[in-house]
Structures are given as structure tokens and as C-alpha cells.
Structure 1
Amino acid sequence: MSFITFKNIGKTFNDVPVLKNINLEIDEGETLGILGRSGSGKSVLISMLRGTKEYEPDEGQIIFHVAMCKECMHVEAPSKIGKKCSCGGEYEEKTIDFWHAERLEFAAIKRRIAIMLQRNFALYDEETVIDNVLKAMGDEGKYLEENIYRALELLDMVQMSHRVTHVARDLSGGEKQRVVLARQLAKNPTLFLADEPTGTLDPQTADRLHDTLEKEIKNKNITMVITSHWPEVINTLADKVIWLEKGEIKECGKPEEVVDKFLATVPLPKKVEKHAHGGPEIEIKNIKKYYYSIERGVVKADDNINLSVNHGEIFGIVGLSGSGKTTLTRMILGLTDPSSGEINIKLGDDWIDMTKAGQFNRGRVTPYIGLLHQEYSLYPSRTILGNLTDAISLDLPGEFAKIKASHVLVAVGFDESTAGNILEKYPDELSVGEKHRVALAQVLIKEPNIIILDEPTGTMDPITRVIVTDSILRARDEFDQTFLIVSHDMDFVLDVCDRATLMRGGKVLETGKPEEIVSSLTVKEKEDMLKDE
């Protein structure tokens, strides 16, 4: 039964077409998968379907075929036509031109749509995790026993039952994403929109959440529209797939057929060739970081770590959550002091002790270390040029600023024409993949000696992933920089790193070539860290 019809939809931002002549039918209970390169229009289409004001189509119609209660205006999917509403009224057939509907009808449909936007953690920061889920159920009867049990059940499904009483503000990005999913499921929607819903999660947690989507949405006959940079997710969840290319539907059909055609266009990353490295640039000797807990006693976050990283090397620090990667990275950056041991970084001809505070000690080195955190953010009120210059205190003459910004954008995978065109755009006008590359450019433009990338592949589609892989290799060659890749994504490490070290339980288990590290992984580590396993 037809639920949503797109007729000749078009959308332009700043005279640039982002959607062109979109014609599409979505049936009730159907899951539509959307594939496409970064910037192809996927997120614009989802935001338009949500009813977000800034995404109103310039031309065409989105038509909803729904069942609406004539008494309370509650909306359900068309299969409810003729049935009784909980208020006592009866559901009648309604055909509504969404963007040209009366205000009350527009709002009635919008209330029945749940959405998860990538990297958008819309939570009540000061409320607990369970209160965030209960609020999504509405204020009336929020604390009824059945609602509390339902909230606990949803949090268990998204692997957040261990954080029920934690305040949302204190969660990591991945944990926030899981609570957002629980909130959206709690709304019991008729239409569920998911734009890279698991983009910030590790592969194993993402797989479990995809199972949750299948159980809670697809198997309950709720209509879903989903984008994902994991083609196997589209194959598993979608009944029908469209491939967007430059705002147009290039292919529409069965998942396995469209996915195969799309993947055939994804370039393979360049393999790491033997690279001439300089001498040691980072020396870590016998580093320990112990915490003391009344309940747990001594917690050995990092225990006797020894590492050496050479100048010009791309070095991976890999391991599961809790292995000690983050603590070690913070000590290298000088953000956390070790309990004992040495961390020395070479600056010019001098070795600087990073365990010593002050402008003549680690303060000399920190300006020469660049960090791209997995929860990076750009300044929304600044143009891309502003984000790459004055927003990060880089004071350059006007024309030189443009030349340098364009140069570094090309280094992260934009062609010269696109690099020049996006300088005056704002971050919200870019796709998530494009923002990711701009954030990397924001680190590179300050010309650091050492760049630390923290879980850099979280929200990447396959093509952006290849572009960023090639960008790191190109930047290393062009700018003569050293990279530390902190990641649980072993496939990415295999593609980009010269060497890597495997951490487990706060210790270094092995250091060597990435393929040697793979042979040392446990079965669980392979499941969590290798997508092809």
C-alpha cells in the first residue's frame, strides 16, 4: 500500500542544485535504502522528508497517504483506515501534500516521524539516560510502570543499560548516539528516518544496533528510510534501494543489484608503499598511569608502555574500548600526567619531556601537535575559509589565506574547482563527509609536526574513507608529517599505517606491521575490529 510519493522534487542551495527531479514511491512497511557519495543529496532528502523548514523543496510535492482520526487528528499508516482510534474516533483516508498542507495536518504528520541524524546528539544534557527516553514518550503518564519497563528494555537493546542513571552530558559520542536511537524508538513512529544512525560506533556495537532496527522497526512493519556507509547494512535492511548521484536518482531497484553497481564505482585505496622515515620523533619509556578507586582499588589504565615512533611514520595504536589507547594519547598530548615513566618528543634538535608542564617544557611542543577528535566540530557561523583561518587563530593576509586554504583542501581530496567554490560556504551547506575532510584540513593547515587522529573513520561512507586514506598518505608526503592513528578499525589501519601497536588491558601486546598485528588478534578482537571477519 503506497504511503509516500515524491513527485518531481527539486532543491537548490545558493544556486547549486542538490536534488533534481526526484520521483519515488515508498510503500507502507517498506525500508528504503539510500546510497551515494558524500554530497550526493542523501541527508537533504531525509531532512526534507522530516519537514525541516530549511529543506522545503523548491519544486515538486511529497504526498503522504495516511489514516487520520477525524476526532483527534492522530495519524497512522494507511492500513489503519476504517479502524478505531484510541480516542474513540475512526481513522479516515487522507491524502496530504506535505509541504503545502494546512498547519495542523503538517504538524500531525511530523509528530509521527522519528529521525536520527548523524553526529546530532539531541538529548537533555542535564537529565539522566532513562529520563531522556521517558521524555520521548510524552509527559502524560511518563512514569507509569509500563513506560519505565519499556524504557529499560530499549536501553538494553542499544547496550546502554549500564548507563541508566548517568547524566547525558557525561556520555561519550557513541553512547549518546545509542540513547538517541532509544529515544526515537520510544516514540513508536509510523515513519523512521535514519541518516547514518551508527556512524560513530564500533563495528560490533553497530551490528547489534542494526539488529535492533530490524527487530524494532522493520519486523514491526514500520516504514523506514535509511542511509549507511556500510553497504551490507543496506543489503540486510532495505527492501528497495536508490543510488543518488549529484542529486539525481541514478539507479533504483533491488538492494543486491544497486549495491553491487555502486560498489563497482568505489576506488580502492592506495596501498602504503615503503616510505623513508627519519629517526625517532616520539619516545615512550616505561609509562604507567594508575588510578585509585575505593570500589576497585588500583586501576592500571596503562601499565609499563614502551613505544618509539619515527619521523614521517604513520603509526597505528589499536585495541578495543578500555585497552588504554585514549589514556596513552592524552599523555602524549600532555593532557594527562603519567604516574611514572618518560614521554619525550623531538622538536628541532631538542628532546622535550612531555611529563613536565610549562612553556619551556611541553608548552614548546603542543603548538606543533594537531588533534582531530572523533567528535570534531566546525564553527557553524564561520565560512569554510573562516574555519580554516581566523577561527583557529591563523592570521593570514586575505589572498594568501585563500590560496593556502584551497591548497590544503585539495590535499584532503577536494578537486581544485570544488576547493575554491566551498571557501565561502558554511558548514551546514556541506555533507558530513565533506565536513570531515574540512576538519582534517583544519588540522593540516596549521602545519603541525605530529598529527593525532582519534577514531577517524567513524562517519565515513566508502568513498570518503578512500579519499581520507589517500589524503593522509598525500599529506604525509607533501607536508613531511608524522601521524598517530588511534582506532579500533583494523581495516583502516591495514590500509594506511606503516606500523601499529596492539593494546590490551593497558599493556602493549605487540608492535609491528599491521598485517602482523592481525595475526595476534583474539577471536573477539577480530569480530570487533575487522569488518571483513
Structure 2
Amino acid sequence: MDFITLKNITKTFDGVDVLKDINLKINEGETLGILGRSGSGKSVLINMLRGTKEYMPDAGNIIMNIAVCPDCLAVESPSHAGEKCRCGGTYEAKEVDFFNAERKLFASIKRRISIMLQRNFALYDEETVIENVMRAMPEGVEYEEGLYAALELLEMVQMNHRITHVARDLSGGEKQRVVLARQLAKNPMMFLADEPTGTLDPQTAVKLHNTLKEGVKDEGITMLITSHWPEVMTELADNVIWLENGQIKEEGDPHVVVDHFMETVPVPKKPEIPEFGEPEVVLEDVKKHYYSIERGVVKAVDGINLTINNEEIFGIVGLSGSGKTTTTRMLMGLTEPSSGDIKIKLGDEWIDMTKVGPLNRGRIMPYIGLLHQEYSLYPHRTILGNLTDAISLDLPAEFGKIQAIHALVTVGFDEKDATLILEKYPDQLSVGEKHRIALAQVLIKEPKLIILDEPTGTMDPITRVNVTDSILKARAELEQTFIIVSHDMDFVLDVCDRAALMRGGKLLDVGTPEEIVDQLTPDEKEDMLKER
């Protein structure tokens, strides 16, 4: 049945049309995939269909065919017309202009729409997992009924082993799964997912995709999902639209549209491996052990030895829990090792990173750039402010602007867009655009050593190629050394000269990315290789 019809939808921000004359039909129970690079309008469309007032169309209408109980204004999808409501009334078919609906009806419709946003966990940090899910249950649900329903949902999202854990103590992937359980607890008639797996490792992302299929698609709930992973579109979507510059460029069969979109993604040209300089980073027998009440002694990193050379692009790869992020944190001085030596060369001198203070690792920190997986921008500063003042880059105003534009061009913006974006604020940009700005924030300081933790998390394929080219260009022009921590083996193959494979806290092998691929287990290949 026809559920939602978008008629001539246009939305403008700061004089720029971010959606232009969108016409679209969404059927009840359909899963619609929304494909497109960062800034194409995907998130704007999702937030508009959520009913967020700031995203109300400037032109056009969103027409919804729904079933409404006239007695209590309860709302259901259109196929429920004629059925009995919980209050005793009968659902009646009704056509509604969403943003022009009467206030109470508008609120009733919004309550039946669930949404998962990028990088937004929206949990009660001090409450347990089970309490978080029970809070999301609809009004009128008895405690015992809600408890059993919450337990079933947590089992579905594979979080039933964490029901008594406080939300703040969960990992990012675990939080995202609890968010999904909360949204499903609301018993939605429409589910909106905006890059729900953008920051997750492939293993966790697959679990979330399976849950979306089982808990949303297979239950007949209408779903709209945006993703830069083509396989999400082909596995979950019944129909796909490709957005480009705010317009629908193509609509149709997921496999056909995805293939056409991927044809526009350039293939990065990896240069021959250059001759490296002398060793710049050395780790010798580095260990990080800690004690857990549940697990006893945990060997997060267990005696690794590693040498990274000047001007090398080096990957540290492995699945979640392999020890790669802990290794990087020890290298940066953010986590103290249990034992071992960590040294980084500054000029002709080796700095001991296990020793604190301005005369030890404090001396080299200004020369190290870090893009953390959980990066953040200053929300009340413009992009220019984020790139200059906010990171204490002491430059004359005009020179600072030139450097900021250069940094934005380096991470894939064209010069015109880079100039326009400088006066915008982070909340005016897509998550993918903010990700690139965070990378530009690192590159603008021109550090000697750059550490990138899962740099491709929220990037669409075209942006990913731009970032690959940016890293190769930065190495060539600025003689920089890169350490890339990633579970994205395709990206490592494209950009890295050598890589180290970690598994269970141990460093198993070091070699070219192609040699490391040969060392992967079948499960690792399935989770870490997408395109080859």
C-alpha cells in the first residue's frame, strides 16, 4: 500500500538548495536505501521524514496515508485501517499532510517513527542496559510485559550478556546495539537509520545489519536507511535512490543503482613503494596487562616488537579486541605500558614515550597528529575557527584562511566548496563532511608523525578515494610518516606500504598489505575485505 509520498520537496539552508524538487513514493513495509556521497542530502531527507521542525520543507509536501483512531489519536500504518485500537476505538484510514497536520496528530505520528543517527548513542549513561530499553517502551505497557519484551530485544541485538552493565561502560558498538533495541522497543511504524554502522568495525556492523533485517525488515516495518556501504543497499533494500547534489539521480533495483554509483568512484593510484628513511618509531617487547574480575589477567597487548620508518605509511590491522588501539594509545602516551620500550625519533634524538614530562614525551607531542575514531569538532566555532583558532594555530588571518582552504582541498573538497564551507558551523554539515574536516584539522598543523584511528569510518566511497590520495600526497610533499589503525583492509591495501597483523594482543606478522591478506583467517577476510 502507498504509505508516504514526497511531492516536489525542496529544502534550503543558507541560500543553498540541499534538496531540490524531490518526488518519491514509499510503500508500507518497503525498505528504501538512500545512496550518495557526503553532503548529497541523505541526512537532511532522513531528518525531514522524522518530523524535525528545522528540516521542514521550504516547498512541497509530505503526504502520509495512515490509520488513525479517532478516540485516542493512536496512529498505525495504513493496512491497520478497520482494526480495533487498544482503547476500544477503530482505526480509520486518513491522508495527512505531515508538516501541516494538526499539532496532536503530528505528535502522534512522530511517536511512531524511530530513528538511529550517525555517531549519536542517546543513552542514559548512569542507567543499566535493561533500564535504558525499558524506558523506551510505549506508555501503558505493564512492567512485567515490558521487562520480558526488553529481554527479547536485547537477545535479538546480542546484548543480553550486558543487561546489568551501566551504559557509560559499554563500547561504541555495544551502545549502538542498545540504541537499536531502544528504537525497536518503541514499536515503530517507520524506522529511519542514518549510517547506523558508519563508525563500527565490520564484525559489529554485520551483527547490526542482521538485527535490522530480523527486527525491522522481516517484521514488515517500513525502513529508510542511508549507508556508504554498497552491500547494505543490496542486502537490505527493496528499492534504492541515488542522491547527488540534493536531487534523485537514479532510482530502482538496488544492484543496478549500486553498480552505477560505484562506476563513479575513482580507483586510487598507488605509487611504487618509495625508499624509506631510517627508523622513526620503535616498540620493543611492549606489553599491556590488566586484571578483570570476570576474566582474570587480560593480555590486551602481549610483547610486541615493531619498527616503523620515516615517511612510511604503515597499517596496524586486526578485528576489534586484537590490541591495535591499545598499542596506538601506548605509542601516543595516552596509556601506560605494563612493560617494554617505546621510542620515537625527534631530529637526531630518540624520545622515550614511557617517560612523562616536558623534557621527555612532552617534547614530541606537538609534532604528532592524531585523528581519533571518536573525533569531535567545536560546535560553536566556524569551520575556519576549528581549523585555526581552535587548535592554536598562530597565523595571520589571511594566511590562516589560505592554509585552511589548502587543508580542505587536501581532504577532498574542491576549492569553491572549501571557501564556502569556512563560515559554516559543524551542525550545518553532514557527518562525512565533518569527518574530513577533522582530518584537515590534523593535517593543517603539518605534523611529522600522523596517527589515524579508523579513518574511513563514515566516509562514502568517493571521499575514501580522496582521503587515500590526500595521504599519499601529504607523504610526498610534507615528508610525513603515517600510522593507520584500521579493520578496513581494502583501504590498507590502497594506501599502506607495509602493515602489521594483530590478533589476541599479539603481533603475528609484518609485511606488505598483500602479504598480510594471505595471513588472514577466513573469518578475518570476510569481516575485513569488502571489495576484493
Q: Tell me if TM exceeds 0.5.
A: yes
User: How far apart, in 2, do the equivalents of 1:204 and 1:289 lie?
Assistant: 24
Look up the SS of the partner of 1:519 in the other structure.
helix
Cα 1:258/1:293, change in 2 over 3 Å: closer
Cα distance, 1:408 vs structure 2:
0.8
| Counterpart position of 1:104 | 104
| Counterpart position of 1:205 | 204
CA contact (8 A) 2:173 2:204 kept: no
| Counterpart position of 2:370 | 371
Look up the SS of the partner of 2:374 in the other structure.
coil
User: How far apart, in 2, do the equivalents of 1:188 and 1:294 lie?
Assistant: 37
| Counterpart position of 2:328 | 329
**How do 1:354-365 and structure 2 match up within 5 A?**
354-365=353-364
**How do 1:117-266 and structure 2 match up within 5 A?**
117-138=117-138, 140-141=140-141, 143-144=143-144, 146-266=145-265
Cα 1:142/1:117, change in 2 over 3 Å: farther
User: How far apart, in 2, do the equivalents of 1:207 and 1:379 lie?
Assistant: 32
| Counterpart position of 1:71 | 71
User: How far apart, in 2, do the equivalents of 1:294 and 1:223 lie?
Assistant: 43
CA contact (8 A) 1:30 1:239 kept: yes
User: How far apart, in 1, do the equivalents of 2:157 and 2:478 lie?
Assistant: 42
CA contact (8 A) 1:177 1:200 kept: no
Cα distance, 1:293 vs structure 2:
4.0
Measured against aligned partners, the alpha-carbon deviations of 1:19-78 in whole angstroms (never above 9, x if no partner) come to: 000011111111111111111101100100101111111000001110000111000011
Q: Any unmatched runs of 5+ in structure 1?
A: none
**How do 1:260-275 and structure 2 match up within 5 A?**
260-275=259-274
User: How far apart, in 1, do the equivalents of 2:219 and 2:298 lie?
Assistant: 44
User: How far apart, in 1, do the equivalents of 2:514 and 2:10 lie?
Assistant: 47
User: How far apart, in 2, do the equivalents of 1:226 and 1:439 lie?
Assistant: 25
| Counterpart position of 2:504 | 505
Cα distance, 1:295 vs structure 2:
5.2
CA contact (8 A) 2:499 2:511 kept: yes
Q: 1:247 is aligned with what amino acid? A: G
Q: 2:6 is aligned with what amino acid? A: F
User: How far apart, in 2, do the equivalents of 1:506 and 1:525 lie?
Assistant: 15
Q: 1:43 is aligned with what amino acid? A: S
| Counterpart position of 1:521 | 520
Cα distance, 1:466 vs structure 2:
1.4
Cα 1:298/1:44, change in 2 over 3 Å: same
Cα distance, 1:353 vs structure 2:
0.6
Cα 1:8/1:295, change in 2 over 3 Å: closer
Deviates more, 1:456-465 or 1:153-162: 153-162
Cα distance, 1:142 vs structure 2:
5.9
TM-score (norm 1): 0.97
User: How far apart, in 2, do the equivalents of 1:393 and 1:41 lie?
Assistant: 32
Number of aligned residue pairs: 532
CA contact (8 A) 2:138 2:187 kept: no
Look up the SS of the partner of 1:407 in the other structure.
helix
Q: 1:149 is aligned with what amino acid? A: Y
CA contact (8 A) 1:129 1:163 kept: yes
Cα distance, 1:434 vs structure 2:
1.0
Q: 1:124 is aligned with what amino acid? A: Y
Q: 1:449 is aligned with what amino acid? A: K
Q: 1:521 is aligned with what amino acid? A: L
CA contact (8 A) 1:66 1:76 kept: yes
| Counterpart position of 2:285 | 286
Cα distance, 1:528 vs structure 2:
2.1
User: How far apart, in 2, do the equivalents of 1:195 and 1:85 lie?
Assistant: 31
Q: 2:456 is aligned with what amino acid? A: T
**How do 1:381-420 and structure 2 match up within 5 A?**
381-420=380-419
CA contact (8 A) 2:37 2:228 kept: no
| Counterpart position of 1:489 | 488
CA contact (8 A) 2:321 2:504 kept: yes
| Counterpart position of 1:306 | 305
Q: 1:130 is aligned with what amino acid? A: I
Cα distance, 1:160 vs structure 2:
2.1
| Counterpart position of 2:432 | 433
Cα distance, 1:143 vs structure 2:
3.0
CA contact (8 A) 1:372 1:439 kept: yes
Measured against aligned partners, the alpha-carbon deviations of 1:154-176 in whole angstroms (never above 9, x if no partner) come to: 22222322322221122222222
Cα 1:117/1:70, change in 2 over 3 Å: same
CA contact (8 A) 2:38 2:430 kept: yes
User: How far apart, in 2, do the equivalents of 1:270 and 1:163 lie?
Assistant: 45
Q: 1:436 is aligned with what amino acid? A: H
User: How far apart, in 2, do the equivalents of 1:418 and 1:293 lie?
Assistant: 50
| Counterpart position of 1:21 | 21
Measured against aligned partners, the alpha-carbon deviations of 1:151-204 in whole angstroms (never above 9, x if no partner) come to: 222222223223222211222222221111111111110011111111122222
Q: CA RMSD in A?
A: 1.4
Cα distance, 1:299 vs structure 2:
2.5
Deviates more, 1:463-472 or 1:192-201: 463-472
User: How far apart, in 1, do the equivalents of 2:492 and 2:150 lie?
Assistant: 37
| Counterpart position of 1:454 | 453
Query: Does residue 26 of structure 2 align to residue 36 of structure 1?
Result: no
Look up the SS of the partner of 2:269 in the other structure.
coil
Identity %: 73
Q: 1:512 is aligned with what amino acid? A: G
CA contact (8 A) 1:272 1:498 kept: no
Measured against aligned partners, the alpha-carbon deviations of 1:218-240 in whole angstroms (never above 9, x if no partner) come to: 12211111111111211121111
TM-score (norm 2): 0.97
Deviates more, 1:75-84 or 1:254-263: 254-263
CA contact (8 A) 1:128 1:166 kept: yes
CA contact (8 A) 2:138 2:185 kept: no
Look up the SS of the partner of 2:364 in the other structure.
helix
Q: 2:267 is aligned with what amino acid? A: L
| Counterpart position of 1:48 | 48
CA contact (8 A) 2:203 2:319 kept: no
Measured against aligned partners, the alpha-carbon deviations of 1:97-116 in whole angstroms (never above 9, x if no partner) come to: 11111111111110100001
Q: 1:151 is aligned with what amino acid? A: A
Cα 1:300/1:382, change in 2 over 3 Å: same
Cα distance, 1:294 vs structure 2:
5.1
Cα distance, 1:407 vs structure 2:
0.8
Query: Does residue 341 of structure 2 align to residue 348 of structure 1?
Result: no
CA contact (8 A) 1:38 1:464 kept: yes
Q: 1:488 is aligned with what amino acid? A: H
Look up the SS of the partner of 1:64 in the other structure.
strand
